[in-house]
Amino acid sequence: MKEPGTEAYALFSGGLELLQPRAGPRTSVDAVLLADFLAPGDETLAELGLGNGAASLAALYLRRAPSAWGIEIQPGLAGLAELNARTTGLPLEVKTGDLRRREDLGEPGRFTRVIANPPFRRPDDGRRSPSVSRDAARREVFGGLQDFLDAARLLLAEGGRFTLIYPARRLAELAAELRSRRLEPRRMRLVHPSPERPAGLVLLEAVKGGGAELEIPPPLYTHGADGAYTDEMAQILAGRRPPL
């Protein structure tokens, strides 16, 4: 049943129906790309900055994990994530809390996989949205990149994997911050809006205490020269592309 102030939408050609705030942050294709990039595993998945749960629920729908746990600072979004988990029947546990607070994160080293789609704008970067909730999804209001990486390092067991999606223009900063925390980049894929345009996003998996080898699969082009989705992107959006 639809909640007041929300609207329904669907991912994966209608296979996963969710609710999002009508006036708050919108679920973007980033959540689907992040879930799709994950390698399948049999361990519980943790998400930092859960929002309405779209990325974790997409990962569960794609069978990338058997269950998930997520932390979200905004009570309204955390409640919406809980509702989405109940209505979809997918095993997502929601924690309302601040990823910057160690006590809210719980026992250190209890996860082998952590994911995040951190806000990509610094607090003073660009024009603010009149919606605090929407602004927090884009801007480092409730934590910046360093806060997300600190939380990931705390939650991950040795050898655990941290996967995130982030602006490609901040890749050098991201790599330096990861390595300073013993989160070694292991797998990276650049996402281009089209073959002739620069990468806009980077999907990156880092391993806590891992080695220095980096795997770089071919780039993902979301659109072709004709403006339509590429075949691979269409498969991703439909939930039909085999894991990399």
CATH code, 36: 3.40.50.150
Whether 21 is covered by a domain: the verdict is no
Name the amino acid, one letter, at 12.
F
pLDDT recorded at residue 137: 46
Sequence-ordered list of residues with C-beta below 8 angstroms from that of 122, at least 6 positions apart, any chain: 139, 140, 144
Residue span of the structural domain in which 155 resides: 29-163+170-182+229-238
The residue among 18, 22, 79, 43 whose CA lies nearest residue 161 is: 43
Distance CA 129, CA 132 (A): 7
Residue range 54-78: average pLDDT?
97
pLDDT recorded at residue 120: 87
Q: How does the average pLDDT of the chain come out, rounded?
A: 92
Distance CA 207, CA 161 (A): 5
Whether 92 is covered by a domain: the verdict is yes
| pLDDT tier at 127, thresholds 50, 70, 90 | low
pLDDT recorded at residue 139: 43
pLDDT recorded at residue 2: 61
| pLDDT tier at 9, thresholds 50, 70, 90 | very high
pLDDT recorded at residue 25: 82
Whether 115 is covered by a domain: the verdict is yes
pLDDT recorded at residue 26: 84
Whether 16 is covered by a domain: the verdict is no
pTM of the model: 0.91
pLDDT tens for residues 178-200? 999 999 999 999 999 999 999 99
- Which stretches of 88-226 are assigned E, i.e. beta strand? 92-96, 111-116, 156-167, 183-192, 201-208, 220-221
| pLDDT tier at 104, thresholds 50, 70, 90 | very high
Residue 134 has pLDDT above 70, yes or no: no
pLDDT tens for residues 148-175? 999 999 999 999 999 999 999 999 999 9
The residue among 21, 121, 31 whose CA lies nearest residue 76 is: 21
Whether 9 is covered by a domain: the verdict is no
| pLDDT tier at 131, thresholds 50, 70, 90 | low
Distance CA 56, CA 158 (A): 22
Distance CA 11, CA 109 (A): 32
How many structural domains comprise the chain? 1
pLDDT recorded at residue 242: 86
Residues in the chain: 244
Whether 192 is covered by a domain: the verdict is no
Residue range 203-221: average pLDDT?
96
| pLDDT tier at 24, thresholds 50, 70, 90 | confident
Whether 1 is covered by a domain: the verdict is no
Whether 174 is covered by a domain: the verdict is yes
Beta bridge partners of 121: 139
Residue 135 has pLDDT above 70, yes or no: no
